[in-house]
Amino acid sequence: MLSRRATLGGLSAALASPAFAASSAMPAGACDTHVHIYDARFPYKPDAALKPKPGDVPDYLRDVQRPLHLSRAVILTPSTYGTDNRCTLDAVKRLGDAARGVGVVAADVSDAELKFLNAGGIRGVRLGFGPEQLTAISRRLEPLGWHMQFFRPAAEIAALEQTLLALPTPIVLDHLGHVEMPGGMNSPGYKTIRKLLDTGRCWIKVSGAYIDSKSGPPDYADTSALAKSYIAAAPERCLWASNWPYPDVTAGQNPQPRPATGPFLDLFARWVPDEKLRHRILVENPETLYGFDPKKRPKPA
């Protein structure tokens, strides 16, 4: 079993090469559905656990979107900013109609704030509330057509199973659902995720293979098995994402160099060798969830 530090060290070494193949045939409208922007113009929360070095919109365009020929992006407010969504709103505005946002709100967020965020391109929220608050805010988000996104270990998702199954809004699970290893597909968390996917209202990001992997790079055999199972079960509700600029790797007690994104895109291509299915996950699924216009697919950069 690899230690967290060894896994991250191997990640940095394995992903340092700029060579990648999947981007050579990137379809128009391909979307990276999980990007964080850290802009020095917007101050971090003083007590934030992660305070990575800045990675702003020009950095993302230069390092990821243009070299990988991606066309769209979904910007997520990171925990570093708490419920301050100004950086995300600014990034969405700068990227225009080729971007959407996912914000973070307090349980008592006002209706006026929700309308303001909606006008700024926000289409969902990341939450960390208890079951009663989840149900209450879900009902308020439903008229907006928003989803609720969860960045939690799969064991916590399992504990919330009945609440999540009953929510009126769609839900999105980050990074393969954070299923614990080596339990994997035998774990209660995975079984709950599969139940949620079967409802037709749950989406999952086939991303972040490195986060919970014990087998490590370059193939991440354990978490790759999870990704392939989700793609087989619900291809119409899978989403690809980079997690750039990898705040869990580049910040904290043992920061590592920022990895290249191209090899992660190549890993996704190995999970999904069928071109039509890749198109669905990269282009059509984000259009459905985030409201991108299918008639206005930007050409690859």
Is 74 in a helix, a strand, or coil?
A: strand
pLDDT value at residue 254: 80
Whole-number pLDDT of residue 20? 56
User: φ and ψ at 239, to 5 degrees?
Assistant: -135, 140
Residue 16 has pLDDT above 50, yes or no: no
Distance CA 86, CA 275 (A): 37
pLDDT of residue 15 exceeding 70, the answer is: no
Q: What is the pLDDT of residue 291?
A: 97
Widest CA span in the chain? 49
Angle separating helix axes 221-233 and 188-198, nearest 10 degrees: 20
User: Mean of the pLDDT values across residues 109-137?
Assistant: 91
pLDDT one-digit tens code per residue, 147-203: 999 989 999 999 999 999 999 999 999 999 999 999 999 999 999 999 999 999 999
Q: What percent of the chain has pLDDT over 90?
A: 83
Average pLDDT over residues 214-223: 95
The label of the residue with tokens 């128009």 reads: 28
Give CA–CA dist 3/276, Å, rounded.
37
pLDDT above 70 coverage of the chain, percent: 91
d(CA 263, CA 12): 11
Q: How far apart are the first and last CA of the chain?
A: 40
Amino acid making up residue 216: G
With a cut of 70, say whether residue 3 has pLDDT above it.
no
Is the pLDDT reported for residue 30 higher than 70?
A: yes
Q: Is 149 within 8 Å of 158 (Cβ atoms)? A: no
pLDDT at res. 86:
98
Chain-centre distance for alpha carbon 16: 22
Mean predicted lDDT score pLDDT of the chain: 91
The whole-number pLDDT of residue 296 equals 95
Residue-level pLDDT at 2:
41
- What is residue 124's predicted lDDT score, i.e. its pLDDT? 98
Q: How confident is the model at residue 21 (pLDDT cuts 50, 70, 90)?
A: low
Give me the mean pLDDT over the 205-214 stretch.
96
CA distances from 255 to 9, 59, 119, 271 (A): 10, 19, 36, 29
- The answer, yes or no, to whether residue 8 has pLDDT greater than 70, is no
Quick one: pLDDT band at residue 6, thresholds 50, 70, 90?
very low
Q: What is the pLDDT of residues 226-267, one digit of tens each?
A: 999 999 999 999 999 999 999 988 887 788 888 899 999 999
Q: Where is 148: in which H helix or E strand?
A: strand 147-150
Domains along the chain?
Answer: 4-290 (3.20.20.140)
Phi, psi of 149 (to 5 degrees): -110, 140
Whether residue 80 contacts residue 38, with contact meaning beta carbons closer than 8 Å, is answered with yes
Higher pLDDT, 129 or 127: 127
